[in-house]
C-alpha cells in the first residue's frame, strides 16, 4: 500500500496565514508547509483539499506502478515523452525595477540551465503529429539560499514548469481527482467521461490544449498557467510566467511527419545555430483569481514584462547519455526560493504529487535523485 504522504498541520498553524508569509510584519518564512495559505495574495483552501490531494498522489503512483511493472522502466506519469534535454544560459536583464528584481532575478546575473521539452500525453509512444499540450521544464543551477521543499532545502536549483497553453483545465482538487478516478493516470483522458468531471469550461480548455499540433518545440510560446509569489514581505505580488521564442513560425510540420519529428526539428536547429526565448513575468492586477487556473489573466490588463533571456547554444543533445540524464531529472515548481513560492490549489496539489512520483520513479529505476550542477556534459566534442 502507499505510505501516508503528508501530515495536516494543526489548525493553528494554518491560521498563521498572511503574516506568516512575511506579510505586513515582513517576518521570515515559517515552517514551509504547503497548506499555509497566503490570503493577502488571494489563496483560499478548497474543501477537503488534503484528503483529495492524498488521493490524487495515490492514484498517480498506482498508475506508474501498474504501467511500468518491469524494474528500470518507469517513466513520468505526465510528460513522459521528451524531445530533448538541452543545456542553456539564463541571463537576467541588466536593469529591472526593484519590484521585479526579486529572488533569482538579480539584474545582470547569468545562470546555467537545463531545459527538458516534452509532450504532455501519458503515452510515451504516441507520435508527435497527434495533437497535445507540450511542456518545458527549466532548471536554473547555482541558486543560493534555502529552498521550499523541506527534503531539498539546500538544493541549488530553481525550476520553472510551463506548457503551450495559458490556462489549466482543472482548478479544484475534487474535479482533478474525479478526472483521474475515471482515467488511469494524471494525463490519461477518457473523452467520454471527462466533461462530467471537468465541467464545460475545463473540458473546453482541455480540448484546445490537447488539439495543438506544432512544428518545433523551440518555436512555441509556453505559460506557467498557475501563479507564483514574487518577492517576500509586504511588497510581494502574485505573478505568472511565460517564455516567448525569438523565432516563431519558421518551421512547418512535415507532410509525412515521422513519430519523433519534434526531436528531429530541435536537433536540426541546434546543430547549426542557437535558440533564444524571452522569459516574461506578468504581475496580477486587482480582480484576477489566484485559485481559478481556468481563467486567463488577460495581457491587455496585465502585460507580460521581459526579465531574462534563455540562450540555448548550438549543441548535440540527441545522445543516450544525455537522454538518460534528462529522464533522471525531477522538475517541480516547488524547487524554488521562498520569493517564488507557488500559489493556488493546483500548485499545492503539485507539491505532494511531484515529490511522491519522482521518488517512486527513481526507486523503481534504481536511480539516485540528485539535483544537477549545470557542469554535466555528454557531447564528447565539447
Sign of the torsion formed by the C-alpha atoms of 157, 16, 36 and 166: negative
Binding mask 73-112 for ligand HEM (x = CB under 6 A): ---xxxx---------------------------------
Q: Which is nearer to ligand HEM, 13 or 365 (CB)?
A: 365
Among 21, 60, 238, 310, which residue sits at the site for ligand HEM (rule: CB under 6 A)?
A: 60
Residue with cell 506557467: 224
Q: In Å, how far are 103, 282, 288 from 239, measured between CA atoms? A: 13, 5, 10
Instruction: Decide: is 225 part of the binding site for ligand HEM (CB under 6 A).
Output: yes
Rounded to a whole number of angstroms, the minimum distance from the CB of residue 175 to ligand HEM is 10
Q: In Å, how far are 58, 167, 181 from 196, measured between CA atoms? A: 22, 19, 12
Rounded to a whole number of angstroms, the minimum distance from the CB of residue 181 to ligand HEM is 13
Instruction: Decide: is 374 part of the binding site for ligand HEM (CB under 6 A).
Output: no
Q: Which is nearer to ligand HEM, 18 or 212 (CB)?
A: 212
Candidates 34-42, 156-164, 266-274, 280-288 — which segment interacts with ligand HEM by CB under 6 A?
Answer: 156-164
CA max distance for the chain: 61
Q: What residues contact 322, with CB distance under 8 A and at least 6 apart?
A: 84, 85, 378, 379
Q: What are 244's strand-pairing partners?
A: 278
Instruction: Decide: is 171 part of the binding site for ligand HEM (CB under 6 A).
Output: no
Rounded to a whole number of angstroms, the minimum distance from the CB of residue 225 to ligand HEM is 5
Instruction: Decide: is 294 part of the binding site for ligand HEM (CB under 6 A).
Output: no
Please say whether the beta carbons of 323 and 85 come within 8 A.
Answer: yes
Among 330, 343, 351, 372, which residue sits at the site for ligand HEM (rule: CB under 6 A)?
A: 330
DSSP one-letter code for 206: H
Q: Which is nearer to ligand HEM, 24 or 321 (CB)?
A: 321
Number of residues that bind ligand HEM (CB under 6 A): 29
Among 67, 87, 116, 263, which residue sits at the site for ligand HEM (rule: CB under 6 A)?
A: 116
Q: What residues contact 318, with CB distance under 8 A and at least 6 apart?
A: 84, 263, 267
Residues 23-52 that bind ligand HEM (CB under 6 A): none
Rounded to a whole number of angstroms, the minimum distance from the CB of residue 351 to ligand HEM is 10
Residue with cell 517513466: 75
Could you tell me the three cell numbers for 283?
Answer: 504581475
Q: Which is nearer to ligand HEM, 161 or 290 (CB)?
A: 161
Give the C-alpha separation, 217 to 43, whole Å. Answer: 33
Give the C-alpha separation, 273 to 266, whole Å. Answer: 10
Rounded to a whole number of angstroms, the minimum distance from the CB of residue 79 to ligand HEM is 3
Instruction: Decide: is 317 part of the binding site for ligand HEM (CB under 6 A).
Output: no
Instruction: Decide: is 346 part of the binding site for ligand HEM (CB under 6 A).
Output: yes
Instruction: Decide: is 163 part of the binding site for ligand HEM (CB under 6 A).
Output: yes
Rounded to a whole number of angstroms, the minimum distance from the CB of residue 352 to ligand HEM is 9
**Environment class of 77 (CB within 10 Å of its CB; exposed 0-12, middle 13-18, buried 19+):** buried
Q: Which is nearer to ligand HEM, 56 or 275 (CB)?
A: 56
Could you tell me the three cell numbers for 39?
Answer: 490570503
Could you tell me the three cell numbers for 370?
Answer: 540528485
Q: What residues contact 15, with CB distance under 8 A and at least 6 apart?
A: none
Among 361, 364, 372, 374, which residue sits at the site for ligand HEM (rule: CB under 6 A)?
A: 361
Q: What are 228's strand-pairing partners?
A: 239, 342
Residue 255: CB atoms within 10 Å: 5
Among 36, 56, 104, 290, which residue sits at the site for ligand HEM (rule: CB under 6 A)?
A: 56
Rounded to a whole number of angstroms, the minimum distance from the CB of residue 227 to ligand HEM is 10
Could you tell me the three cell numbers for 198?
Answer: 471537468
Q: Which residues bind ligand HEM (CB under 6 A)?
A: 56, 60, 76-79, 116, 118, 135, 137, 161-163, 168, 176, 186, 224-226, 330-331, 346, 349-350, 353-354, 357-358, 361
Amino acid at each position: 500500500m502507499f505510505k501516508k504522504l503528508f501530515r495536516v498541520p494543526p489548525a493553528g498553524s494554518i491560521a498563521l496565514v498572511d503574516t506568516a508569509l512575511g506579510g505586513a510584519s515582513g517576518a521570515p518564512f515559517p515552517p514551509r508547509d504547503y497548506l499555509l495559505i497566503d490570503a493577502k495574495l488571494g489563496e483560499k483552501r478548497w474543501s477537503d483539499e488534503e484528503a483529495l490531494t492524498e488521493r490524487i498522489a495515490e492514484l498517480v503512483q498506482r498508475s506508474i506502478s501498474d504501467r511500468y511493472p518491469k524494474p528500470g522502466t518507469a517513466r513520468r506519469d505526465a510528460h513522459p515523452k521528451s524531445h530533448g534535454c538541452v543545456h542553456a544560459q539564463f541571463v537576467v536583464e541588466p536593469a529591472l525595477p526593484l519590484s521585479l528584481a526579486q529572488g533569482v532575478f538579480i539584474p545582470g546575473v547569468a545562470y546555467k540551465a537545463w531545459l527538458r521539452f516534452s509532450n504532455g500525453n501519458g503515452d510515451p509512444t504516441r507520435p508527435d503529429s497527434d495533437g497535445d499540450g507540450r511542456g518545458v521544464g527549466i532548471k536554473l543551477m547555482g541558486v543560493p539560499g534555502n529552498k521550499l521543499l523541506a527534503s531539498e532545502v539546500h538544493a541549488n536549483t530553481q525550476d520553472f514548469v510551463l506548457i503551450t497553453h495559458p490556462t489549466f483545465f482543472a482548478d479544484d482538487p475534487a474535479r482533478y481527482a474525479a478526472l483521474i478516478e475515471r482515467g488511469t493516470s494524471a494525463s490519461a483522458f477518457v473523452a467520454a467521461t471527462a466533461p462530467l468531471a471537468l465541467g464545460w469550461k475545463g473540458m473546453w480548455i482541455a480540448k484546445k490544449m490537447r488539439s495543438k499540433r506544432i512544428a518545433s518545440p523551440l518555436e512555441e510560446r509556453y505559460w506557467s498557467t498557475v501563479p507564483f509569489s514574487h518577492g517576500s514581505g509586504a511588497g510581494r505580488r502574485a505573478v505568472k510566467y511565460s517564455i516567448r521564442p525569438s523565432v516563431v513560425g519558421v518551421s512547418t510540420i512535415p507532410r509525412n511527419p515521422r513519430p519523433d519529428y519534434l526531436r528531429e526539428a530541435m536537433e536540426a536547429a541546434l546543430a547549426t545555430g542557437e535558440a533564444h526565448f524571452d522569459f516574461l513575468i506578468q504581475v496580477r492586477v486587482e480582480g484576477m483569481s489566484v485559485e481559478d487556473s481556468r481563467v486567463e489573466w488577460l495581457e491587455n490588463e496585465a502585460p507580460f514584462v521581459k526579465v531574462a533571456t534563455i540562450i540555448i547554444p548550438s549543441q548535440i543533445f540527441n545522445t543516450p547519455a544525455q537522454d538518460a540524464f534528462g529522464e533522471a531529472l525531477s522538475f517541480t515548481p516547488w524547487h524554488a526560493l521562498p520569493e517564488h513560492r507557488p500559489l493556488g490549489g493546483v500548485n499545492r496539489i503539485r507539491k505532494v504529487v511531484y515529490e511522491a512520483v519522482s521518488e517512486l520513479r527513481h526507486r523503481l529505476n534504481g536511480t539516485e535523485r540528485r539535483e544537477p550542477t549545470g557542469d554535466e556534459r555528454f557531447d564528447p566534442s565539447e
